[in-house]
Amino acid sequence: MSSETDKPLRLIAVCGLRGIGKSTVLQRLKELDPSIRVVFMSRELKAFSLKITERDFFEHDVPTRDVLRELFGSDLIGRLKDDGGTVVLDIHFTDIRESADKIIQPQTLIQDITAFIVLDASNETIVERRIKDKELSLGRSLAIVEIQRERESQLTAAQKLAAEHRRPLFFVSAEQTVDEICTELRLALAAAIFSERY
């Protein structure tokens, strides 16, 4: 149960194209600094779907997925608010398999985000990473036109949400090594926390 002395929840959303290496970077960030709490949204949502429906999330039709996302968002926010503190979300705001313009995250979650960080790399870098990692290439396009469309979809959504909710938006280049990206990401996290305090 929360008390007045508990730390308020500070959610930092790190978004980026599927296959850019975001989850790998955030996993490494946790290794470098165990005090950083990361929620891997896709994994958590899949586990939630299995728990609630006994079916994989993507076995459901789109309207059912939307309902599951709303239920998951409310459940997650409730749990995170109980603990408080700073939490990094490994998140996607759109899924072009559904629609390039549709925000797939529930409003109950988005309204509590403190700052947005976009991890981005060139189309060519993303193709290379998807080819290199067989898991990343499953169900993901290697066509430059499609990758550009996905990048624009994520970026537009992050910009729109940051503007709507009057939250800061930071950009981190994913063109470097994992540890170099982590260094830049830590600076962006520090800036996000500083801007929220002041």
Q: What domains are defined for the chain?
A: 9-193 (3.40.50.300)
pLDDT range class, residue 136, cuts 50, 70, 90: low
Q: Give the C-alpha distances (Å, rounded to integers) separating 93 from 14, 90, 172, 183, 188.
A: 10, 10, 17, 24, 19
For β-strands 9-16 and 37-40, DSSP reports them as: unpaired
Give the chain's end-to-end CA distance (angstroms, integer): 28
Across 77-90, average pLDDT: 90
**Tell me, what DSSP letter sits at residue 58?**
G
pLDDT for position 139: 62
Angle between helices 22-32 and 178-197 (to 10 degrees): 80
99-115 pLDDT tens trace: 889 999 999 899 999 99
In this structure, the dihedral spanned by the alpha carbons of residues 74, 193, 161 and 141, taken in order and rounded to 10 degrees, is -90
Q: Average pLDDT over the chain, rounded to whole?
A: 88
Give percent above pLDDT 90 in the chain. 64
Spatial CB neighbours of 90, under 8 Å, sequence gap ≥ 6:
14, 22, 23, 26, 38, 39, 40, 41, 42
Q: Are 49 and 56 in contact (CB under 8 A)?
A: yes
At 178, list the tokens. Answer: 């994992």
Range list of H helices, 39-61: 41-53
- pTM as predicted: 0.88
Predicted pLDDT of residue 196: 64
Helix (H) or strand (E) holding 162: helix 144-164
For residues 86-111, average pLDDT = 92
Looking at residue 20, what is its pLDDT? 87
pLDDT at 182 over 70: yes
* Per-residue confidence (pLDDT) for residue 135, from 0 to 100: 61
112 Cβ contact partners less than 8 Å away, ≥ 6 residues apart: 9, 11, 77, 81
Percent residues over pLDDT 70 in the chain: 92
Task: Write the CB contacts of 62 (distance below 8 Å, at least 6 apart in sequence).
Answer: 98
Whether residue 36 is predicted with pLDDT greater than 60 in this model: the reply is yes
In this model, does residue 50 exceed pLDDT 90? yes
Q: CA-CA distance, 66 to 68, in Å (whole number)?
A: 5
Q: Return the pLDDT at 86.
A: 87
